[in-house]
Amino acid sequence: MISTNATIGKNVTIGNYTTIEDDVIIGDHTIIENNVSILNGARIGQHCHIHSGAVLAGLPQDMKYKGEYTTVEIGDRNIIRESVTINKGTNTRKVTRIGHNNMIMANAHIGHDCEIGNHCIIGFSVGMAGEVIVDDYANISGLTGIHQFSKIGEHCMVSGLSKVNKDIPPYIIAAREPLSYAGINLVGLKRKGFTLAKLDELKEIYRIIFQQKRNTSYAISFIENNFKQTVERDKILDFIRQSERGIIKGYHE
Q: What is the DSSP-derived secondary structure letter of residue 94?
A: S
Q: Among 51, 75, 99, 113, which one carries the catalytic annotation?
A: 113
Does 130 qualify as catalytic in the annotation? yes
- Taking residue 34's Cβ as centre, other Cβ atoms within 10 Å add up to 12
Cis peptide before 60 (omega within 30 of 0): no
205 contacts 214 by C-beta, under 8 angstroms: no
3-state secondary structure of 221: helix
Q: Is 113 a catalytic residue?
A: yes
Of these residues, 130, 135, 153, 188, which one is catalytic?
A: 130
Inter-residue contact 64 to 82 (CB < 8 Å): no
Q: Would residue 238 show up in a list of annotated catalytic residues for this protein? A: no
Would strands 145-146 and 163-164 be described as parallel, antiparallel, or unpaired? parallel
Active-site residue, from 51, 109, 112, 155 = 112
The catalytic site residues sit at 112-113, 130
